[in-house]
Amino acid sequence: MASFIDKTQISVAAGKGGNGAVAFHREKYIAAGGPDGGDGGNGGAILLVPDDNLSTLMDFRYKRKYQAPSGQDGQTKRCSGKNGQDMTIRVPRGTVVRDAQTGQIICDMSGEGKFVLCRGGRGGWGNQHFATPTRQVPRFAKSGLPGEAREVVLELKLLADVGLVGFPNVGKSTLLSVTSNAHPKIANYHFTTLYPNLGVIYLEEGVSFVMADIPGIIEGAAEGAGLGHDFLRHIDRCRLLVHVVDVSGSEGRDPIADFDKINEELKSYSAALAERPMIVAANKVDLLPPESDNLERLRAYVTEKGYDFYEMSAATHLGTTELMKTIAGRLASLPPIRVYEPEFVKPLAEAGAANALQITRHDDLWEVSGAWLERLVSDINFGDYESRNYFDRQLRKSGLFERLEEMGIQEGDTVSIYDLEFDSVP
């Protein structure tokens, strides 16, 4: 049996942009053909795609680093290098992607379509872009920009309408097996369920829902005891909880105490989860000894708290159909499955020291490059007015303009920063 993996951390990096080419046109009978170096190709991006055929993050257990191809360097005859091919990473639908450093949500892969996790670096300009009437033989080109890279945590949260909760061996898997198309492993010992199971319940034409059976919760699960803590995340999205309680006394436990302990574990894990609508299902009534008052005590206890109460026997199918109909009716009035909104906002790069930049003069053109400047340019949307203002403020903050003046830049000279150019003004 393959291991069930529902949380893992991976490193992803988009491809670097290709370098621009320095080349000159060579053709018989044509003298001084001029610069014709092509641009570098853009680096490949990292894309995430939800895949309904995947139900675990097992594929990421052995492969933790993903690197998209870089763009090719520019060629002669003004030919641009090929763009790096985008790398597509398929994840189970319902995977929540978080920034590893902050824990903030980057995206929730519950819908359709692709998500660009890392953008590829832009290709550098070839020397064809730098020819002017006064600079007819530019012997320089631009390097490509690095692609984005980050560490992310993939966390699978099942897309289920209903979550079955309760102690081990209370009959959750049996209930799922007799009401749906799921075939979970069932045996008479604790933790038969070692990973979440999903089943689709069809009641009639147009009426169906998805129900999840997670490994049994035990006391202390929210602090990491047993298996339940590892899988409580899979009922985070559930619109409705069905709390299955064993009233037969076959495990030697009190059903009211079991009910309270599970609710405490849910509350310890998530206050929002503890407030989720809940139906209480008293299971194994067929095994209830005649002298036992477990069923009536539990009924009085939970109805006083305002919960719907159903008695059933999953093994004999007693009351299961009525329970499923009630669940469908409750779901019809509840909000849709939760989709997590993105929280993560990538902090914009800030200026470093101007003396950490490399400045090269080519006649009336000043080429500026450097590690922090690469990051800053990659973060800026130059089509946005506020972003351009931020870029200008960071350059002034670094002292770049003062350094250029000290080096002798003149009014009208051109400053070239990767694929951005502007004229110097006094």
Per-residue model confidence (pLDDT) at position 405: 92
Q: Is the pLDDT of residue 149 over 90?
A: yes
Q: Which of 157, 176, 211 is the last residue of a domain?
A: 157
Q: Is the pLDDT of residue 86 over 90?
A: yes
Residues 127 and 246 both lie in one domain: no
Per-residue model confidence (pLDDT) at position 222: 47
Mean pLDDT, the chain, rounded, equals 88
The answer to the question of residue 336 being in a domain is no
pLDDT in tens, 202-227: 998 888 999 988 876 665 544 554 44
Residues 354 and 319 both lie in one domain: no
Helix-helix angle 385-398:371-379, to 10 degrees: 160
Mean pLDDT of 74-89: 95
The answer to the question of residue 343 being in a domain is no
Q: Which of 122, 157, 192 is the last residue of a domain?
A: 157
Residues 101 and 210 both lie in one domain: no
Residues 166 and 143 both lie in one domain: no
Mean pLDDT of 347-367: 90
Domain region containing 203: 162-331
Mean pLDDT of 286-310: 94
Token reading at 382: 């130059």
| Choice among 30-34, 132-136, 245-249, 401-405 with the minimum mean pLDDT | 30-34
Q: Is the pLDDT of residue 191 over 80?
A: no
Whether the CB-CB separation of 266 and 190 falls below 8 Å is answered with no
Q: What is the sign, positive or negative, of the torsion defined by CA atoms of 288, 292, 296, 301?
A: negative
The answer to the question of residue 311 being in a domain is yes
Per-residue model confidence (pLDDT) at position 382: 86
Considering 42-46, 332-336, 402-406, the range whose residues carry the highest mean pLDDT is: 42-46
Q: Is the pLDDT of residue 123 over 90?
A: yes
Per-residue model confidence (pLDDT) at position 221: 46
Per-residue model confidence (pLDDT) at position 182: 61
Per-residue model confidence (pLDDT) at position 219: 56
Residues 318 and 214 both lie in one domain: yes
Mean pLDDT of 166-174: 88
Tally of domains in the chain: 3
Residues 400 and 416 both lie in one domain: yes
How far from 237 is each of 131, 196, 228, 247, CA to CA, in Å? 59, 14, 16, 28
Residues 79 and 178 both lie in one domain: no
Residues 141 and 7 both lie in one domain: yes
The answer to the question of residue 123 being in a domain is yes
In this structure, what CATH number is given to the domain that contains residue 369?
3.30.300.350
CA nearest neighbour of 393 among 347, 349, 351, 357: 351
Question: What is the amino acid identity at position 413?
Answer: D
Residues 150 and 252 both lie in one domain: no
In this structure, what CATH number is given to the domain that contains residue 25?
2.70.210.12
Residues 367 and 236 both lie in one domain: no
Residues 210 and 295 both lie in one domain: yes
Q: Is 363 left (phi over 0), alpha (psi -120 to 50) or beta?
A: left
Q: Which of 131, 157, 183 is the last residue of a domain?
A: 157
Residues 19 and 120 both lie in one domain: yes
Mean pLDDT of 258-279: 90
Instruction: Give 137 or 76, the one with higher predicted confidence.
Output: 76
The answer to the question of residue 342 being in a domain is no
Question: What is the amino acid identity at position 370?
Answer: G
- Kindly tell me the burial class for residue 124, based on how many C-beta atoms sit within 10 Å of its own C-beta (0-12, 13-18, 19 or more): buried
Per-residue model confidence (pLDDT) at position 227: 46
Whether the CB-CB separation of 256 and 263 falls below 8 Å is answered with no
The answer to the question of residue 341 being in a domain is no
Per-residue model confidence (pLDDT) at position 93: 92
Per-residue model confidence (pLDDT) at position 230: 66
The answer to the question of residue 337 being in a domain is no
How far from 43 is each of 69, 148, 392, 414, CA to CA, in Å? 6, 10, 26, 27
Q: What is the number of other CB atoms lying within 10 angstroms of the CB of residue 36?
A: 21
In this structure, what CATH number is given to the domain that contains residue 245?
3.40.50.300
